[in-house]
A and B are shown apart, each in its own frame.
Chain A
Amino acid sequence: MSLRARQYSGWSVAIFVVIVVSLVPVVWILMLSLKTSASATDGSFIPHHWTLSNYSDIFKQGIFTSALRNSIGIALISTALAVVIASAAAYAIARLDFPGKSIILAVSLGVAMFPQISLVGPLYNLWRQIGLYDTWPGLIIPYMTFALPLSIYTLQAFFREIPWELEQAAQVDGATPFQAFRKVIVPLATPGLVTTFIIVFIICWNDFVFAISLTSTTAAQTVPAAISSFPGVSQFTVPYGDIAAAAVVVTVPVLLLVMFFQRRIVSGLTAGAVKG
């Protein structure tokens, strides 16, 4: 009884610490976003004067609304493309026998470890020559590429858990390998696909390196890049409230995804890690 009670209180302390440490910066940025501009610099954690004016401010600015549109569009398209391309490759790796399987895994691993900043110079140069600089495809192409390794590893780990017999049964019933893939495996693989989609979406949504280097205007600038270039009232004032409000807006979707799909994210990332 006393052991159980001790265990219980021990876990309570551990859980409390984890929750406080994880949440303090998030709550802080939320509090800062609710401060009036006059009290933004008072350094108190909880606002003395509450306001929503920072939010109405940023939504009045073209720079933020267009950045939000760009972020959503670019992240969704990149994620969709990466998951489609990766699921084909992951299916082949998990199910088929072919030479070069280790080569494709080695290439994925190499891309995963690649210092992305090393690509910025050549891509900046090339995109300006062929007109992709400051466009959606100009960001979608690198996002999709760098999402592929993780997608392939996670998906092939999921695909291996799917019972082979069903696919064989479909083939015995006269389905071609492609039909077996489309009609049998895809429905069974949906949980894995959803998980991969969420993880990849978070990665694309979060990118800063490419966003700051390959865009310059509201045509393609995403929220992380836009926040870092928010104009202050003058050159020397920091627009604290606007930055904080924009930060909260861009954090909310991720927060919801993480809280709702916590189990999927844990299983997706750990499955890929154990097998990769």
Chain B
Amino acid sequence: MSTGAVAAPGAAAPRHKGLTERAKSERRLAGMLVGPAAVVMIAVTAYPIIDAIILSLQRSDLRFPSQTKFIGLANYGHVLSAPVWWQDVLHTVIITVITVSIQFVLGMCLALVMHRVLFARGLVRGIALIPYGIVAVVSAYAWQLAFSLNSGWIPKLFSITSDPLSHTFGLYVAIIIAEIWKNTPFMALLLLAGLALVPDELHEAARVDGATTWQRFVRITLPLMKPAIVVALLFRTLDAFRIFDTIYIFGQGAQNTESLSMLNYSTLLNRLNLGLGSAVSVLLFLLVALIAFVFMKGFGAGGLSTGDER
């Protein structure tokens, strides 16, 4: 950002008579360079979401294709009056709130370790990143097979004799631990970016004035990191809210663990009900947009989209 800001005047420096021609060709080039990315992103997301909106207004069931017809908002009424939708909203919110808050605390600790570690920094950072890099399905299986009474070391270690994965509470604990393990490093990376922006001189000055480590953390580090914290929480919240892989591996939503993405998947691909499934898709899309909006307005992440404009 700093180099961009410094270099900006230089970019406009060679102003002579060919300016408008040059500006025009610059815009033409920009259009050519940005065009493909813009077209791909809009075509592959906008077209399907419009298609989803249209499908959600129809009775469209792949098992009974001849009965397809326009039925207005009936699918939405169906979804919103179904207890399963609200239960799944609750499941998703529970998982999101618990995992993101624990990830935030652990991620901050991990970021501090990665930032301040005095020796073996490359090794620590590399190993700490492993959960982030690992395939989500593999991570889910690693935890599922560890918790399962049939195969796992966890029941044996704690002398548990009933299968932890056979009841709701045990399943939630396992799913939440798996999610926290997998995603804390990414949270830590985003927070690490913020930590790097806190100048050491401020800490030195506060230390000279007699501030304790905790006081320095709360009064200096946290406030200066706020933009990074908001970005990290926003990205992790949206990601956690879309939880699918782990739920799928832990029994496809069995024992009241179905998330909204899992509901969406099963309505679309197990029940092949495109109309109803598309209504779920659109509602999920709106919920995600709402969360993003609340974050941007409420926590001042509004700079997120314009942060790049120097």
Contact = CB atoms under 8 A, between A and B. Distances in A.
Interface residues of A, number: 107
Nearest to A227: B137
A116 B45 CA distance: 9
A119 B47 CA distance: 9
A26 B153 contact: no
A251 B284 contact: no
Contact of B129 (A161, A178, A265, A271): A265
Interface string A240-276: 1001100100110011011100110110011101111
B36 A88 contact: yes
A131 interface: no
B136 A114 contact: no
Interface string B154-197: 01100000000000000000000000010001100110111011
A262 B141 contact: no
Interface residues of B, number: 108
B168 to A, nearest CB: 21
B162 to A, nearest CB: 14
B282 interface: yes
A164 B128 CA distance: 35
B52 to A, nearest CB: 5
Interface in B205-238: 228, 231-232, 238
Q: Helix, strand, loop or mixed for chain B's interface?
A: helix
B44 A141 contact: yes
A238 B145 CA distance: 10
B82 interface: no
B72 interface: no
Contact of B48 (A122, A212, A273): A122
A85 B44 CA distance: 14
A192 interface: no
A118 B36 contact: no
Contacts, number: 321
B37 A104 contact: yes
B101 interface: no
A91 interface: yes
Interface string A125-164: 1100000000000000110110011001000100011001
Contact of B248 (A118, A123, A145, A228): A228
Interface centre among A99, A109, A202, A208 (most CB of B within 10 A): A208
Contacts of A125: 51, 55, 274
Nearest to B39: A85
A109 B274 contact: no
A177 to B, nearest CB: 5
B94 interface: no
Contacts of B117: 11, 14-15
B304 interface: yes
B26 A96 contact: yes
A148 B288 CA distance: 19
Interface string B7-44: 10011101000000001011101111110111011101
Which 6 pairs between the two chains have the least Cβ-Cβ distance? Answer: A270-B193, A122-B48, A98-B30, A262-B126, A89-B37, A43-B156
19 contacts: A11-B117, A29-B145, A32-B151, A43-B153, A91-B33, A93-B34, A104-B38, A105-B308, A117-B244, A117-B264, A119-B45, A121-B264, A122-B281, A125-B55, A160-B4, A164-B7, A165-B10, A177-B25, A266-B125
